Amino acid sequence: MREAMAKAEVGDDVHGEDPSVNRLQERVAGVLGKEAALFFPSGTMANQAALRVHTRPGDVVIAARDAHILKYEAGAASALSGLQIKTIGQGGAFSPEEVRGALHPGDVHFAPTTLLAIENTHNAAGGRVLRPEALEAVTRAARAAGLALHCDGARLWNAAVALGVPPAALAAPFDTVSVCLSKGLGAPVGSLVAGSRELVSRLRRIRKMLGGGMRQAGVLAAAGLFALDHHLARLAEDHANALRLARGLREIGVEVEGTPETNIVMFRVADDAAFQSRARESGVLVGRADPGRLRAVTHLDVTAGDIEEALERIRPLAH
């Protein structure tokens, strides 16, 4: 990947003249079944630009409880676009009835609801996968209510691999879809938003407003192209490693939430801060999702052997 970055052909992407960025955008648009795509420095910027392109200040966005756009994006939706986010459902999913129940009546007293945002896979729900039939039901309800549709697909690649379906099948119902190159795909930087040519043209101006215009960004795009060529199919290895980690944690007495569907393992311990600190000292890095709740994520730098080693190092901490 670093060799590909060093050899990347570059230009001025602010003016749409970087050939490597253009190739990446065309590639991702094609994979997702959309007309066009735009490269962003981060997933948060990608999501926030998509929210802005579909809404006006004061609008309401419907999203799942603990959605990334609300929980992990530093209040950007309200600070940058004046949006309110109304959460529904549990565990990253919700029903058509919950979508309809979240709509405000057409009354001057109420903020208009204009967008449904769905996260697939859902980070805070442990990498939960939303299946095409579930997506079709809730997006149909949203369309009937006149809502625009955005998918936070930072981990859409994982969902597609877990389900054995093309990414385009999961992206199909949405006006815009964000995808990340720096999660399971292992690139150092970058996300993209795909959609119609008209929406992507508007997104380009919003990206510039948010400070996301980059010049010779082809060195970053080259990493993304390499990742798409070499790291997509191997996501199944991360999923298998997460399953082994979850099983091993249970075997040593740790409370694990459910069965991992992709590459995220959520587990609970009595003193999460102490556990996290002691695990770090032993060479095992885990994240803190909520009080008492920890998150372990498998990726291309973690082998099956590393999982076994991690379990051995964690074993003394679990008691």
Q: Pick from 165, 190, 65: which is nearest to 123 by CA?
A: 65
CA distances from 250 to 53, 59, 287 (A): 44, 44, 18
The Cα 153–Cα 192 span in angstroms is 10
Position 55 scores a pLDDT of 98
pLDDT digits (tens, 9 = 90+) for 83-138: 999 999 999 999 999 999 999 888 899 999 999 999 999 999 999 999 999 999 99
Go through the domains of the chain in sequence order and give each one's CATH number: 2-229 (3.40.640.10), 235-318 (3.90.1150.10)
Position 104 scores a pLDDT of 84
The three-class DSSP label of residue 288 is strand
The Cα 103–Cα 117 span in angstroms is 14
* Region 201-214 average pLDDT: 97
Q: Is the pLDDT of residue 319 over 80?
A: no
CA Rg value for the chain:
20
pLDDT digits (tens, 9 = 90+) for 232-286: 999 999 999 999 999 999 999 999 999 999 999 999 998 999 999 999 999 999 9
Position 105 scores a pLDDT of 80
* Region 60-85 average pLDDT: 97
Position 217 scores a pLDDT of 97
Q: How far apart are the first and last CA of the chain?
A: 41
The Cα 203–Cα 301 span in angstroms is 33
Nearest 10 degrees: Cα torsion 165, 167, 170, 176: -170
How would you classify the pairing of strands 264-268 and 287-290? unpaired
- Whether residue 224 contacts residue 186, with contact meaning beta carbons closer than 8 Å, is answered with no
Position 44 scores a pLDDT of 98
- The mean pLDDT value of the chain amounts to 97
- Whether residue 275 contacts residue 269, with contact meaning beta carbons closer than 8 Å, is answered with yes
Position 106 scores a pLDDT of 82
Position 309 scores a pLDDT of 97
Residues 6+ apart with CB under 8 A from 36: 25, 29, 194, 195, 196, 197, 200, 201
The Cα 271–Cα 276 span in angstroms is 9
The Cα 82–Cα 98 span in angstroms is 24
The Cα 97–Cα 118 span in angstroms is 15
* Region 53-81 average pLDDT: 97
Q: Which tokens hold the place of 305?
A: 């052997």
Position 115 scores a pLDDT of 98
Position 165 scores a pLDDT of 97
- Whether residue 206 contacts residue 5, with contact meaning beta carbons closer than 8 Å, is answered with no
Q: Is the pLDDT of residue 170 over 80?
A: yes
Residue 64: band (very low, low, confident or very high) from pLDDT cuts 50, 70, 90: very high
* Region 55-73 average pLDDT: 97
pLDDT digits (tens, 9 = 90+) for 23-49: 999 999 999 999 999 999 999 999 999
pLDDT digits (tens, 9 = 90+) for 130-161: 999 999 999 999 999 999 999 999 999 999 99
The Cα 72–Cα 131 span in angstroms is 23
Q: Which tokens hold the place of 279?
A: 């695990």
What does the angle CA 168 – CA 295 – CA 250 come to, to the nearest 5 degrees?
A: 110
